[in-house]
Structure 1
């Protein structure tokens, strides 16, 4: 029965010991805070992710030069930018340096040379408002480039392709499903892998692994029990974080598939972590190798269009198709293979030599 299975006994013992680990408890509390107050945090984080979307962020720009009129016209397409014409660059710079009196946040100098328009921007250095000013200036220049391309198309011998319409999407939507949700889903996976590494290296360092084997428990049972505690923690956390997101008004689709993805990744990462701990029993070395390996794996898969991060985002917004579900199944298959490899490694390891 499960109650007498030594692996479940070891798993319960391992979960009980996690309460004494302040780092783990702090990480769990931080994730809980992010998930519980996601609606409030998204507004603040988006202000760093895309400062131009902050309500009430007004930027006054002094524009000068022979192409200033077109630049001012382009600035009207950007929300939160008030562009005013100045007759000379010296006057504009003087207004910029006298910010307290004029309120000018930046200067744009637009000059025409050889039928090309060169724009030089002056923004505050080290000011709290610098990031917002730079982002707003970037949007103005993009709008200006679009306007120039449209106007100059009439002088071309052949008509170019029409520019696609500008997409108007909410940055809050993009940030929530491409940054916040993957963070809440995959951070527990990384933590679980680290727990698996620590759980084994700690037993080896303290010499308690040999004491465990005095009982009718094999090394395989010990590793399985610790793996069960570490890998089982991630999908439980992910389910709780998704529930809190739902309570905060963030709708999440394909929840079973997302939980399955987290469980598969947790099994994969924890298997790799446990194998690392057995091959490199010294705690610092094992944690270093585990961290490098996980970063390389997740960094490499992030560039693929159907990697874990992109698959999670598409599933969460309800646009997941056959490819995303196949990706989840493939990750699950790799996780099972990794666990099988761990079992073979445990069978070859001499516990007395650890």
Structure 2
């Protein structure tokens, strides 16, 4: 098993199935359109064709925003100076590391929950495609496996949310509180920053480890034809702990790709102040290209980790009775 080999195999499998990228992207667009339409109505009702409209076209009207943010809740509260360029990405990352992702308004949680369910549904078909790269690329086969693995993946989603809650309930939040108490009388700002950074680093490490285990749990469900989400989760734990160097090496290499992508977007991402239709279109296209790149990276994670998991299999699994109806060779269930 080689990190670089599975890294290259992963992107090869992703590029071999470009339709999957479009499926995921289209699902995200369909989810975003009604939210964007609602937010447009909120903003139009706030400043319409007033002078604020002209100020917003030229940049950002902070005076108007002060009044707007004081009286808005729900989805409208997500609008602010941070919605352009790299700032939305950094804002979401901070929200994740602060444990605020589950404390949003109802509309945001509904949209986020819907997106998670869409990913959960598509994941079965995606992982089957990457686990069987030479199988026929029939749409019926893809959606068959989407439905086949949806409920085991849904149970894994519940486990993932429980892990996210546990990390902040018992690790991150207590440590943040301890840092605040311990540095209350510290005058050196550097000490406070280092302690806070250490807590964020530990939080990110635990979340990354959880994500890695859950990815391999989903892969185990598909590759080893498991039905128990709990046993699949334990299989993911065992696989990561049994292969710590190669699993973490592959994960870190893909994270590095994501970091390079983020830095590249930060360098070219347009900010507010697009005053012509051409500039607005260019800003839109740059943003959509970044979203597509993020989707490719997410699929790259799944494809590369699937290749690694399959390479580590000590035996060849045979299709169980009934699996042939889907047109795929699925493995028998294996013990944890």
- What TM-score results when the alignment is normalised by the length of structure 1? 0.25
Give the structure with higher Rg (CA).
1
Which has the larger strand fraction?
Answer: 1
Which has the larger helix fraction?
Answer: 2
- What TM-score results when the alignment is normalised by the length of structure 2? 0.26
